[in-house]
Amino acid sequence: MPKQAISDRYELLEELSSGGMGDVWRGYDSVLDRPVAVKLIRQASVTSPHLAEEFAKRFRREARITARIQHPGVPQVYDAVLDESYERLFLVMELVDGVPLSAYMDRDRPLPVSWAAAVAAQVATVLSHAHDVPVIHRDLKPGNVLVARDGTVKVLDFGIAAILRTDVTKLTATGSPVGTYQYMSPEQVRGGRITPQTDLYALGCVLHELLSGRVVFEADSEFQLMYQHVNAAPTPLRQLRPEVPEELEELVLHLLRKAPEARPADTQEVYARLLPFLPGPGEKSDAAEAAPSGAPDPTALFRHPYAPRPRAQAPASAGPTPPVPVPPHGAPVPVPAQLREDIEEAYAHSDALLEEERFAQAAEVLGEIIEPAALALGSESKQVLALRRQRAAIRLLGGDYRAALPEFDALADAYARISGPTGKQARACRAQAARCRAELGQVTEALATLQDVLNVVRTVDGDVSEEAVELRHNIGMLLLAQGRAAEARQVLEPLHQDICVVFGPDDEMAAEIAEALAVIRLGLDGGSSGSPS
């Protein structure tokens, strides 16, 4: 325990838990006079010194995105302290009085059905708010789910896996996987793209264990466990516990499907399918459904129920940019001196905010100048489109994919009207929209768009232009995430060769692709990846 307070503010009082990623302490905030939880990330988890600056930026970005989740089931993050040596990372959080869900897992005494359904429904509710940001947990497991004394379920460690990149399969020099994979989705095992459906797979693993007392797959080695997640069918719950309702068995099997897009559409669907197994308002608990001795009752919340936030409705327009007639023959409108000055000032202010990674504010600053600029110059003038494109790029960079997607779609249409659908700006916006869709779990549509754009780029600039390389990389990793290992290998192997020739084998993308190819060659897909080379 540090001898002095962290940042001259947070005192560590007693160790609460110790895990593979870090230790959690009961702490005290001397400034606000309140108890806190302080998580000390293990030194081995922090990146090497020469990547310290990149780690610090990633840490701040993920912490800010995670802080957008507004739900009582997510403990608030009060502060994040990365010391000057980059050797110690502290997260200061709300202190929750509760017990990890893992403490209640017992294969000899499976939990009551209503108890298990109530926990899963609360987790689904939390995930619905997170995915709306969108934030993907990436490491959902019983140890990260806390049952508070009042029965409220708290989901811990949002963003930690993304900050430390622990969800990416890592290989030793001998090609052996490292890490534990009891709750890891097939796309995570493969090292593919993570989507909200990744969390649904983990939720399926947790619900299976709640109802049966057993993990979905058991194996003597980590490789066998990885192989089972990618290829093996889970044992239906009713074979392990006959009294489990058939509808719950079907839900768990649906959550555990191998392909992300074959799982339930979203957490709202999961919640709706759990509702029949939850108590109604005012309903008293059943003695036959008694929870473990001394355990809190997670069904209590549903006796006064609350539901996940409504699904987001598609925005009526991409932004407050009313159409203004373009001058005859497309002649450009002269920019008034004051407006030009205001636009330059907005860019400068936004850029300064970006330097501090304050993405939401940077986008808002540009949004304030877009409407007056559109009124004066036209909604599809060069200056207004540039402002809208910069705002969309900032939203994408900040992880606000839902807001960025309709903006990029609208920009692609506008640039197509001006310069043609195959023009550089139109195809760039189409590609950015596809990347947003991929992040939101719309992988099939994203893949089709990226391939269409790549076909155009190849005819214009060839196969190794910066634009083509980025598109090929996106396509290969999306294919890998979908379990289409053979197709992914066909894309990634020649891409790796091209990058090594043009940029050298030490290029960051070359190293990432080499690792993905190593995962494919492990043969996790039952030979579908092709013969190892």
The tokens describing 159, both together, are 């963003």
Q: What is the pLDDT of residue 64?
A: 76
Which CATH code is given to the segment(s) 98-303? 1.10.510.10
pLDDT digits (tens, 9 = 90+) for 70-80: 898 998 878 87
What's the pLDDT at 168? 45
Sign of CA dihedral 318, 319, 324, 327: negative
Q: What is residue 323's predicted lDDT score, i.e. its pLDDT?
A: 47
| Among 42, 16, 67, 12, residue whose Cα is nearest residue 360 | 67
CA torsion sign for 216, 219, 225, 228 is: negative
DSSP 13: E
Task: Give residue limits of the domains in the chain.
Answer: 10-93, 98-303
- Tokens encoding 265: 């559409």
User: What residues contact 454, with CB distance under 8 A and at least 6 apart?
Assistant: 468, 471, 472, 475
Measure CA of the first residue to CA of the last residue in the chain; give whole Å. 49
Output the pLDDT for position 123.
97
**In the numeric block, which tokens belong to residue 456?**
């155009």
Helix count (H) and strand count (E) of the chain? 19, 10
Q: Enter the CATH code of domain 10-93.
A: 3.30.200.20
* Residue in this structure with the two tokens 């039952």, named with its chain if needed: 526
- Catalytic positions: 139
**Adjacent-strand bridge partners of 147:** 99, 153
Tokens 């779609």 identify what position? Answer: 409
C-alpha–C-alpha distance, residues 25 and 18, integer Å: 9
Q: What are the respective helix, strand and coil percentages of the chain, to the nearest 5?
A: 50, 10, 40
- pLDDT in the model for residue 304: 66
Question: In this predicted model, what pLDDT tens digit does every residue of 364-406 receive, in sequence order?
Answer: 999 999 999 999 999 999 999 999 999 999 999 988 999 999 9
Per-residue pLDDT reduced to its tens digit, 218-273: 988 888 899 999 999 999 999 999 999 999 999 999 999 999 999 999 999 999 99
Q: Which residues does the chain have with pLDDT short of 50?
A: 166-179, 316-330, 528-533
